[in-house]
Amino acid sequence: MQTTFDYVVSGAGYAGCVLARRLSDAGKSVLLLEIGSSDKSWIIRMPAGLRSAFKPTSKYNWWYYTKAQQHLNHRTIEQPRGRVLGGSSSINGMTWLRGHPLDFDRWQHEGVSGWDWAINY
Ligand SMILES: Cc1cc2nc3c(=O)[nH]c(=O)nc-3n(C[C@H](O)[C@H](O)[C@H](O)COP(=O)(O)OP(=O)(O)OC[C@H]3O[C@@H](n4cnc5c(N)ncnc54)[C@H](O)[C@@H]3O)c2cc1C
């Protein structure tokens, strides 16, 4: 088993997975660590199953709360975050938005090579 890596990425959510993939594509060895469990579950894969990820007992959800909110009569509000491979994207209802081409091209223009719209889409 490989025990040394060029990079260790903590958290296999959106950011961690993209980062690990980009580094791997660049020929680097990467250890991607995720504290949550596998996403191979009907709760994650089937849209109607998602309600189960929003129970306080769900292992797929960190089940955070906000601080008491002054402008909400000092109530605390549930703040779900994914604790599973895929992170919050695994419990975000499978909806997604394609980014705006101008944002991608601006990032490329500002020096983030490989992020321009033409390459990614
Ligand atoms: C209910 C809900 C609905 C959403 N709806 C949408 C939507 O419709 N469209 C949209 O674009 N976005 C949506 N989002 C937001 C989107 O899912 C998040 O912005 C995105 O997933 C954040 O990515 P991230 O990589 O920053 O964090 P996350 O995806 O949350 O990933 C963080 C990962 O790190 C792991 N982790 C934490 N601590 C450790 C540790 N110590 N060691 C190892 N691993 C650790 C976590 O378990 C998690 O898997 C939604 C989010 C939620 C919660």
- In this prediction, residues 94-119 reach a mean pLDDT of 86
Instruction: Choose the residue to mutate in 89, 90, 97 for probing ligand 1, maximizing ligand atoms within 8 Å of C-beta.
Output: 89
Q: Within a domain: residue 17? A: no
Residues sharing a CB contact under 8 Å with residue 43, sequence separation 6 or more, in sequence order: 49, 50, 52, 53, 58, 60
Whether residue 14 lies inside any domain: the answer is no
Higher pLDDT, 66 or 45: 66
The count of domains in the chain is 1
In a domain, 46, yes or no: yes
When the pLDDT of each residue in the chain is averaged and rounded to a whole number, the result is 92
Which atom of ligand 1 lies at the shortest distance from residue 86's CA? 49
Q: Is 33 helix (H, G, I), strand (E, B) or coil?
A: strand
CB distance 33 to ligand 1 below 6 Å: yes
106 in any annotated domain = yes
In a domain, 96, yes or no: yes
Residue 115 located in a structural domain: yes
Contacts of residue 45, defined as CB under 8 A and 6 or more positions apart, other chains included, come to: 39
pTM: 0.83
For 2-55, write each residue's pLDDT tens digit.
899 999 999 999 999 999 999 999 999 999 999 999 999 999 988 888 888 888
Query: Is position 67 within any domain?
Result: yes
Residue 74 CA to ligand 1 centre (angstroms):
26
Position 86 in a domain: yes
- pLDDT at position 42: 92
Q: Tell me the residue range of the domain where 81 lies.
A: 34-120
What is the Å distance from ligand 1's center to 28 Cα? Answer: 24
For residues 32 and 11, give the distance between their C-alpha atoms in angstroms, rounded to a whole number.
Answer: 7
